[in-house]
Structure 1
């Protein structure tokens, strides 16, 4: 849960400070202190939004989990990459001890230290930025952002990790000359072996759904099964974009098949339906040469209300017809019995 907060909150920082990056490498570290069934240290490796590797201290192996190559096999990124992971493990354990002392926490509980590395490269493949954020027990601790020209350090939530001037100069040199080039090199290597995944373009499926809601309607603009995740989805009313404040706008969510979905929903009342507006769901995406759109119009308020009440009416009419049919069948059956009875009586008299 903490990583989700970090990821959603921190994605804007590199975008604002370094707008030219194209691909990114994510290293998500977990260090757990205390008795649990989980490994003491683990790391998830992601290329853009695709998980490609996993490491934990129990197996002491970096495993390929979804990228190029054999799934479940060892992901060989070199000894230096393994050293980086182990150094992070030791450093995070030390940091967690500092946090426990600052907060006067006991040594018998379960505590979690988390760290997120992100680095990006530009279109020409050159290093663009690297960012590190730390947190303990679900709270931000501090962060570092470094690119080819700037170095920024910031604290979070009142954590007291003191860095004097010399320490910051040392970190700037280390991140600029070691971490950033190394991360960019690994990123380019993974891009080469996973280009069939990260370079793919999958066209969105676009639908405009209208559902009765009382006397009005719920109109949903839905795009599904697209990749990459960046999409521009717009709901138009008579050719003009509907204000975002009028709608319920969702987030881009994974579809469960490696693709994504996004929807925007607008509630329309009876008065709005009477105006017979034309609604259009439009999408712009990297996989499309031109804008994709689909439209819907309520022909009339009266006809739309028929849709609202049609289901109950159909059920009622069906029940009445079934009752009438059963009565006719019963009456006909009774007539046949009487006819047979009369015939038998005539024969006996004869």
Structure 2
């Protein structure tokens, strides 16, 4: 299951990163598993980067993330989507049987068929593209994409399509799949507009850490939405080469927001020159660029000295000898005080 989820994450990140900020997307991540007692078929429904629904073959219904059943109002496109998901279940089950037969896979054991399918619309709600991508046992099988003007299909040699099948699939995409997916997507955009259309500005700050030979400077932008952001690190007003930076990937924050960081190693020589570093951030939530600056300051505190192994052993031996000497002197002092107290007690008794 971990492998299945990992594949979903990689596919989803690829699709989100490839989508521009002026688009919205609806993706269904479907998994069919044979040879297991788990749910045979499950689907995760994603609106942009937000999970809005879940379906599996055991409950046989679409459930909202909040645990509520999808609305049952008349002409609700989500209820119509349930019929499509059932059809997808049968299609993927048949597809996996064909895969096992064609590639001589043993019937026993666990086999997995996966599908990523969905569509994108422009900011004004107009359809942009629809895509279907299949995989079997962790390997890509084939994929197709349709964007109202172009239809492309990519598959391995064993999955050659005839001209009639290509025409039939083209007709399904243009007349059924694209209009229906666009309708569901626009419906969800209206229902979840407070989430997907929100604008949360980033919090940007510099972080510095002393390391051997200098310091590491990190520019961090966190707690922003949507995920599309431009983060640039400048040195005295000039962009630092990307190959000298570490990080740069936009990551989830765990609270529905995102974070990104870029780090730069600054040597002691660079610190002595006292360059001015600026972190420049552009985001949909900002009217203007957000800039945060930090000026390098060199001091002996940036130097971190490393003691060699022989010197370290010698220093430890000296410290041990000092400790033993101190304990011995302390013990001798305590013994002398005890003896003096006994002598005073003896004198007092004789006097009495």
Q: TM-score, normalised by structure 2?
A: 0.81
Distance 2:256 2:289 in 1: 23
Q: Deviations over 1:79-133 (max 9, x none)?
A: 4311110111111111111211222111111011000112011122121110110
1:218-237 correspondence runs (5 A): 218-237=216-235
- 1:25 equivalent to 2:21? Answer no
**Contact (CA 8 Å) 1:55, 1:62: kept in 2 or not?**
yes
Residue 273 of structure 1 is matched in structure 2 by 271
1: CA distance, partners of 2:78 / 2:53 = 14
Q: CA 1:12–1:165 in structure 2 vs 1: closer, same or farther (change >3 Å)?
A: farther
Q: CA deviation at 1:12?
A: 6.4
Residue 255 of structure 1: which of 253, 256, 269 is its match? 253
- Please identify, of 96-105 and 56-65, the stretch whose mean Cα deviation from structure 2 is larger: 96-105
Aligned match of 2:8 in 3, 6, 15? 3
Q: Is the 8 A contact 1:298 1:304 kept in 2?
A: no
Residue 293 (structure 1) shift: 2.0
Unmatched 5+ residue regions in structure 2? 1-5, 307-322, 324-337
SS of corresponding position for 2:158: coil
Q: What is the distance in 2 between the residues matched to 1:142 and 1:75?
A: 34
1:160 aligns with 2:158: yes
For residues 222-264 of structure 1, the C-alpha deviation after alignment (integer angstroms, 9 at most, x for no partner) is 1111100111111111111111100112421111100011111
Q: How many residues align?
A: 330
Confirm whether residue 62 of structure 1 aligns to residue 62 of structure 2: yes
RMSD: 3.4
Q: Which moved more, 1:118-127 or 1:51-60?
A: 118-127
Structure 1 residues 141 and 12, CA, compared in 2 at 3 Å: closer, same or farther?
Answer: farther
Tell me how far 1:139 sits from its aligned partner: 0.9
Give me the whole-angstrom Cα distance separating, in 1, the residues matched to 2:237 and 2:25: 37
State the distance in 2 between where 1:98 and 1:63 align. 30
Partner of 1:83: 83
Following superposition, the deviation at residue 30 of structure 1 comes to 0.5
The CA distance in 2 between the partners of 1:247 and 1:87, in whole Å, is 48
Q: Give the 3 Å change call, closer, same or farther, for CA 198–279 of structure 1 in structure 2.
A: same
Does the 8 Å contact 2:25/2:121 carry over to 1? yes
Q: 1:21 to 1:145 in 2, by over 3 A?
A: farther
Asked if 2 retains the 8 angstrom alpha-carbon contact of 1:54 and 1:62, the reply is: yes
Q: TM-score, normalised by structure 1?
A: 0.82
* Equivalent position of 1:185 in the other structure: 183
C-alpha separation in 2, matches of 1:307 and 1:299? 19
SS at match of 1:160: helix
Counterpart of 1:104?
A: 104
- How far off its partner does 1:159 sit? 5.5
In structure 2, relative to structure 1, the CA distance for the partners of 1:199 and 1:165 (3 Å cut) is same
